[in-house]
């Protein structure tokens, strides 16, 4: 029985799989299995996986009809995983060869109520590589910080105890996007998180990243659903809740749904009445037309992303 199960969901990723699968099979930690869940690919994904599996018996290939997103195939992988720990890897990303070893060490040196270990990682965009260093986890404020902003960002960097995944129910397959954020929040309500501080994974940013296809409306609806699920916990942290409600409002407004956006700006002010951004955004959503507000929303988004970039990312020398 392997100690770690690595899960790769794949849809038409034949070109990327040799790299991602190779980064799992070349880990210094050998007591693992690799579960590749083919989400109804129409390219030669199956042939690529089968050829690699022929050379390494630790590979398990599962095909299923197309689900349309990573939640379904990830849950299929969890159901078929035999390891004590489960680690996720997107099919276009890769791990450094000590990633599994380092995260298992963190688990084994942490308290028994630690259920989730992340790691710092690298992002590659074209010829540029930058470092992303996660904040130090303060578990007493973990849910609050994740509510305000999902600083984990990608499932490629996490390892979770399988029994905890089964306990909380895995990924929510009803969400259009944000299913990873929702899972982190559910785990954070009950368990501690820990961090392997080395840069142990590489996230590849390119035009076909799954997340890039989601627009304001999908993001708004999914975040709205997540907040409703966690409302009782969210209301314990009014300032962080207000931040997320403003994000829902901004996404609705960016999609041209100003009436719905104004409703959420008002809700955000109710929970965080001293925040000037909420009042200014509500004013803009009330007096600007759809086109003007869309321009303002995109500008705010770019400024916010730049602020996060400066806070978390460091360009590699």
What's the domain range around 88? 4-212
Both 74 and 185 in one domain: the answer is: yes
Query: Taking phi first (over 0 means left), then psi (-120 to 50 degrees means alpha), and beta for anything else, what does residue 77 get?
Result: alpha
- pLDDT band at 258; cut points 50, 70, 90: confident
Residue 53: pLDDT over 50: yes
At which of 179, 212, 245 does a domain end? 212
Both 67 and 131 in one domain: the answer is: yes
Both 129 and 58 in one domain: the answer is: yes
- Domains contained in the chain, number: 2
Question: In terms of C-beta distances under 8 Å and separation of at least 24 residues, what long-range contacts does 47-55 make, across chains too?
Answer: 47/14, 48/14, 48/17, 48/18, 49/10, 49/17, 49/21, 52/17, 52/18, 52/21, 52/22, 52/25
pTM of the model: 0.88
**What stretch of H or E contains 63?**
strand 59-64
Proportion of the chain above pLDDT 90, given as a percent: 68
- pLDDT band at 229; cut points 50, 70, 90: very high
């Amino acid at each position: 029985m392997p100690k770690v199960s690595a899960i790769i969901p794949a849809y038409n990723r034949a070109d990327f799989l040799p790299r991602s699968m190779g980064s799992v099979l070349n880990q210094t930690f050998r007591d693992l299995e690799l579960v590749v869940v083919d989400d109804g690919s129409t390219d030669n994904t199956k042939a690529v996986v089968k050829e690699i599996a022929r050379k390494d018996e630790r590979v398990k290939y599962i095909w299923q009809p197309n689900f349309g997103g990573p939640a379904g195939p990830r849950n299929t992988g969890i159901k078929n995983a035999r390891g004590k720990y489960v680690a996720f890897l997107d099919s276009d990303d890769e791990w450094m060869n000590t990633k599994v070893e380092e995260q298992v060490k963190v688990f084994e040196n942490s308290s028994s109520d630690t259920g989730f270990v992340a790691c710092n990682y690298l992002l590659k965009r074209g010829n540029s590589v930058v470092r992303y260093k996660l904040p130090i986890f303060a578990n007493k404020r973990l849910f609050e910080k994740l509510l305000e902003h999902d600083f984990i960002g990608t499932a490629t960097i996490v390892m979770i105890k399988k029994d905890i995944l089964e306990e909380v129910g895995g990924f929510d397959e009803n969400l259009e996007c944000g299913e990873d954020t929702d899972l982190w929040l559910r785990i954070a309500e009950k368990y501690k998180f820990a961090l392997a501080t080395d840069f142990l994974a590489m996230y590849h940013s390119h035009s076909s990243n799954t997340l890039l296809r989601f627009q304001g409306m999908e993001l708004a609806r999914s975040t709205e659903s997540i907040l409703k699920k966690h409302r009782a916990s969210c209301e314990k942290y009014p300032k962080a809740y207000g931040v997320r409600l403003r994000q829902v409002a901004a996404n609705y407004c960016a999609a041209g749904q100003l009436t719905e956006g104004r409703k959420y700006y008002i809700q955000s002010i109710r929970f965080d009445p001293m925040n000037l951004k909420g009042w200014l955004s509500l004013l803009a959503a009330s007096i600007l037309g759809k086109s003007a507000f869309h321009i303002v929303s995109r500008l705010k988004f770019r400024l916010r992303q730049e602020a996060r970039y400066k806070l978390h990312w460091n360009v590699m020398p």
